């Protein structure tokens, strides 16, 4: 149980285009999902917290107009990288907390490798 999927697993796009990444909780409902990015050999950096039915909360230094987050249902959150540039190339990972869990164990997706040319 507690499986989180991401789609696509890899994406290559041209500079200036927008890319949407989906994060789904497959066998549980998640009122809260998180988006992270990870650079090679670096740790995960929390970008934003996504709550179903409300606006996402962004961490300091993360541009909300650049990284659009929509948590439209209890099983789906999307991250859209708008007007992508090469410096946005990274490994993006989402996680989800099952509704009602008491101590916030997070279940992570497999990640999406974004390469902007």
Partner 1 sequence: SQKIEQNSEALNIQEGKTATLTCNYTNYSPAYLQWYRQDPGRGPVFLLLIRENEKEKRKERLKVTFDTTLKQSLFHITASQPADSATYLCALGNRQTGANNLFFGTGTRLTVIP
Phi, psi dihedral angles at 14 (to 5 degrees): -85, 155
The one among 34, 35, 58, 67 contacting partner 1 by CB under 8 A: 34
Q: Specify the stretch interacting with partner 1 by CB under 8 A; choose among 13-21, 38-46, 66-74, 75-83.
A: 38-46
98 is an interface residue for partner 1 by CB under 8 A: no
Which uninterrupted H or E stretch holds 116? strand 112-116
Lay out the site mask for partner 1 across 65-94 (x = CB under 8 A, - = otherwise): --------------------------x-x-
Nearest partner of 19 among 67, 54, 62, judged by Cα: 67
Give the sign of the dihedral formed by CA 98, CA 104, CA 106, CA 107: negative
Of 7 and 82, the one with the shorter C-beta distance to partner 1 is 7
Peptide bond before 8: cis, by omega within 30 degrees of 0?
A: yes
Sign of the CA dihedral 92, 100, 60, 41?
Answer: negative
Site residue total, partner 1 (CB under 8 A): 26
Q: Based on CB atoms, which residue is closest to partner 1, 84 or 93?
A: 93
Interaction mask 6-25, partner 1, x per CB under 8 A: x-------------------
């Amino acid at each position: 149980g507690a499986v989180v999927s991401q789609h696509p697993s890899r994406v290559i796009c041209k500079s200036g285009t927008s890319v949407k990444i989906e994060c789904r909780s497959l066998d549980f409902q998640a009122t809260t999902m998180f988006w992270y990015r990870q650079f090679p050999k670096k740790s995960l950096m929390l970008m934003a917290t996504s709550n179903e039915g409300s606006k996402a909360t962004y961490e300091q230094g993360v541009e909300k107009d650049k990284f659009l987050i929509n948590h439209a249902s209890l099983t789906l959150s999307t991250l859209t990288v708008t007007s992508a540039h090469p410096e946005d190339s990274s490994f993006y990972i989402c996680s989800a907390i099952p509704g009602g869990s008491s101590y916030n164990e997070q279940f992570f997706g497999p990640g999406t490798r974004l390469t902007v040319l």
